A and B are shown apart, each in its own frame.
Chain A
Amino acid sequence: MLRRPRREEPGFSSTGPAFRRPGRRTRGARVTRKWTPRYRTVTARLYVSASFNHNSLMGDILTMKRFRTGTLALALASGLAACGGGEGGSGEGATPGGMAKGAAAPGGTVALTGAGATFPYPIYSKWFDSYGRANPVRVTYGSIGSGGGIRQVTEGTVDFGASDAPMNDEELAKAPGMLHIPTVLGAVTVAYNLPGVQQPIRLSGDVLSDVFLGRITKWNDPRIAGLNPGAALPARDILVVYRTDGSGTTYVFTDYLSAVSPAWKQQVGVGKSVKWPTGLGAKGNEGVAGQVKQTEGAVGYVELAYARQTGLQTASVQNRAGQFVQPSVAATTAAAEGLAARLGAGSDFRVSIVNPAGAAAYPIASWTYLLVPPQIGDCAKARALVDVVRWGMGAQGDAQASELHYAPLPADVERLVLARLSTVTCGPDRQPVAAAAG
């Protein structure tokens, strides 16, 4: 077929006028003529030949003599997009570490760094900000995920970690004595999209688990209809939507399903990521909420705040006392009522509180933890940390939590938690923080 003309061929005479006077290729010439033939031809040849002599396409483009600015802009722009469109702090590098290592900054400000769970990030940043305005303490919190929080606090690269799920025994073995300090309670709601149904639908634990196991596939299944007499349930397929990114929300939800359904416990189990028997995955609370909102017949689980913000319908879930309870801040706090007596003074708080006994309690609720090392080298930091948490559990902190749809701990549980927190020691002689504060 056609081949590229050789250098000797007329079209490539290198003595053509265009070569002797390349400056002639002016703006005017460009407008009136589409091509300035010879000049073009030769640069073209250079480019094509470069393509086959070197080994990288990008390299070829960059070595081109006549290099269109558009392509350069494209390359730059995509480079920018690659930097800016990053995947949202999934690595350890996402923590603003380092700077806080130098404890007390000039002027007596104490700098603390923490990293971990994304679920409580809004309330933590609110607390830390409000507290920092009134006190010489600056807390930086990186919401990098519970797993990252556990790793970083274990390695000591941050002053405290945060996690939605308690550390397991294997993790705790690497960080002996790590304190689990519950801060607030969160509820996981069952959100669904059934336009024809006005009343919130009612679901029991075993029906919910069978929906998520794929054993109940239609909204008008007799077992759902039995719980919702009078509701006009459509004959639609149920589309299960789950969180695909590892999350504390998933942990709490699967923890609940395992507590109420032996079949779930045996087939799927508890985890921040599990093997879902049915449905499709969306990224983040916003992804699940969006997917549910868009798809008639979908059901998913999202945090209370997201359900309220997006206006999704949420199911009333039957608690252990047999009551159907709508998720709310009050019903979530109620889930922790009576816990103080159950736990006792020496508890390490590594217990699941899903499916509690209270009649007013919403059953899919859990707390989220700060992970605090039992011994902190710098007493100023230790004191600051204890004070921040104490402030968060006070009246102002509780009010801020409720505003953001987190449930404050009941007062008696807060007392237990603070007692636990005051066992932190600091300094080389391991004095109790309380004494150091005096």
Chain B
Amino acid sequence: MQAVPEETFRGALAGPAPRRPLTLAGGRGNLADRVYGYALLAMGMVIPVLLAFLLFRVGASALPAVREFGWGFLTSSEWNPVEGEFGALPFIFGTLASSLLAVLIAVPLAVGLAIFLTELAPRWVAAPVAFGTELLAAIPSVVYGLWGIFVLVPWLRSAVQEPLANALGDSIPLFRGPAYGVSILSAGVILAIMIVPFISAVSREVLAAVPRVQREGALALGATRWEMTWQVVLPYATPGIIGATILGLGRALGETMAVTMVIGNRPEIATSLFAPGYTMASVLANEFSEASTDLYLAALMEVALILFGITVVVNTFARLLVWRVARREGR
């Protein structure tokens, strides 16, 4: 990594003011500068403080459940509010399964779309298509959920689940079982639709940022357009695309409303894609407002804490992945 040359390069180019550390306590600088510095410091601190407070509050509220169930909370599949027995495993499973499925569906679609828009599409096609894709991100998730219930789920049931279950259900457990419509599959599909705009918009930026010389070089060496895209442009853009994917995955993990409406909300771990599941965000949305006992509330808080933890782990992992890929590529 070459932070210093990059900085000078950038400075030579655009000519921004040299970056000088603001002295807060020192005597240098006039009053306006100091006020400015403190004001910015305060703004910069708001988010970390908020995060710490959030973590503290959720953690403190979850404490009774942590004490009561210990590590068993992570491995138990029992969720019985009447008996006061709680385990989060089905929710963890449902969250991960639906989000991974969504990413599996969304990434090829979004990256394909991004390649089409940057490499192939004429401008009069690219602009409206890009605008339309980005518009998808503006639709509130409850609208996706309603559309999911009334359009997507019945269609998936009759056009996808039933034929697949009849044809392959006996041999592949993934496609087994009665087709209710609401399922992990439905949740994955609706999440995929919701995260495509994020992944494709960022991928588009990344692809557009691949230097012209790279493309020209490949073409000059006799590469076809396909070879240029596949062997030159995509490898160059890989870290960025991974970043885009993680952005999408992060949204999928936390998405609540639309998933709740189509996943079937059954705290069970099933091997079939057609079986209902349950996610952490959904159980929080569903049960928090009516949770009456302290232990019940604490268990829900612990679910929130785990969701928080999983997103942190996913993001850290993604960060490492981007870093490794970037290093392997020699940048």
What 8 A-B pairs have minimum CB-CB distances, sorted nearest first? Answer: A246-B290, A281-B265, A85-B140, A145-B289, A77-B138, A11-B213, A244-B265, A44-B209
- The answer on a CB contact under 8 Å between B201 and A42 is no
- The answer on a CB contact under 8 Å between B286 and A244 is yes
Interface 0/1 of B188-225, CB less than 8 Å to A: 00000000011001100110111111100000000000
User: In the bound complex, what is the Cα–Cα distance between A90 and B236 (angstroms)?
Assistant: 45
Closest residue of A by beta carbon distance from B327 = A52
- The answer on a CB contact under 8 Å between B286 and A74 is no
**Cross-chain contact of A294 among B2, B82, B154, B276 (Cβ < 8 A):** B154
Interface residues of B (CB under 8 A from A): 1-3, 5-6, 9-10, 12-14, 78-83, 123, 130-131, 134-135, 137-143, 149-150, 153-154, 178, 180-182, 197-198, 201-202, 205-206, 208-214, 232, 235-236, 239-240, 243-244, 246-247, 256-257, 260-261, 264-267, 276, 278, 282, 285-293, 319, 322-323, 326, 329-331
Would you call A101 an interface residue if the criterion is a C-beta within 8 Å of the partner chain's C-beta atoms?
no
Q: Chain A contacts of B5 at CB under 8 A?
A: 7
Q: Chain A contacts of B326 at CB under 8 A?
A: 51-52
Rounded to whole Å, the gap between the CB of A383 and the closest CB of chain B is 31
Rounded to whole Å, the gap between the CB of A51 and the closest CB of chain B is 6
User: In the bound complex, what is the Cα–Cα distance between A70 and B133 (angstroms)?
Assistant: 10
- The answer on a CB contact under 8 Å between A41 and B154 is no
Stretch of A195-203, A282-290, A305-313, A370-378 with 4 or more beta carbons under 8 angstroms from chain B? A282-290
User: In the bound complex, what is the Cα–Cα distance between A210 and B305 (angstroms)?
Assistant: 37
Q: How large is the interface on A (under 10, 10 to 19, 20 to 34, 35 or more residues)?
A: 35 or more
Stretch of A53-61, A102-110, A341-349, A414-422 with 4 or more beta carbons under 8 angstroms from chain B? A53-61
Would you call A431 an interface residue if the criterion is a C-beta within 8 Å of the partner chain's C-beta atoms?
no
- The answer on a CB contact under 8 Å between B3 and A46 is no
Given A44-B211, A61-B205, A246-B287; A280-B138 close (CB under 8 Å): no
- The answer on a CB contact under 8 Å between B240 and A283 is no
User: In the bound complex, what is the Cα–Cα distance between A46 and B205 (angstroms)?
Assistant: 12
Would you call A279 an interface residue if the criterion is a C-beta within 8 Å of the partner chain's C-beta atoms?
yes
- The answer on a CB contact under 8 Å between B330 and A271 is no
**Cross-chain contact of B291 among A38, A41, A147 (Cβ < 8 A):** A147
**Cross-chain contact of B287 among A11, A42, A91, A245 (Cβ < 8 A):** A245
- The answer on a CB contact under 8 Å between A281 and B266 is yes
Would you call A28 an interface residue if the criterion is a C-beta within 8 Å of the partner chain's C-beta atoms?
no
Rounded to whole Å, the gap between the CB of A26 and the closest CB of chain B is 15
- The answer on a CB contact under 8 Å between B287 and A290 is no
Q: Chain B contacts of A47 at CB under 8 A?
A: 205-206, 209
Closest residue of A by beta carbon distance from B150 = A290
Given A84-B140, A281-B264; A274-B211 close (CB under 8 Å): no
Closest residue of B by beta carbon distance from A145 = B289
- The answer on a CB contact under 8 Å between B80 and A237 is no
- The answer on a CB contact under 8 Å between B235 and A2 is yes
Rounded to whole Å, the gap between the CB of A67 and the closest CB of chain B is 9
21 intermolecular pairs with C-beta atoms under 8 Å apart: A1-B235, A2-B235, A3-B329, A4-B331, A11-B212, A14-B9, A14-B13, A41-B211, A46-B10, A47-B206, A60-B243, A71-B201, A85-B142, A88-B285, A90-B285, A91-B288, A237-B178, A274-B81, A275-B81, A276-B266, A280-B266
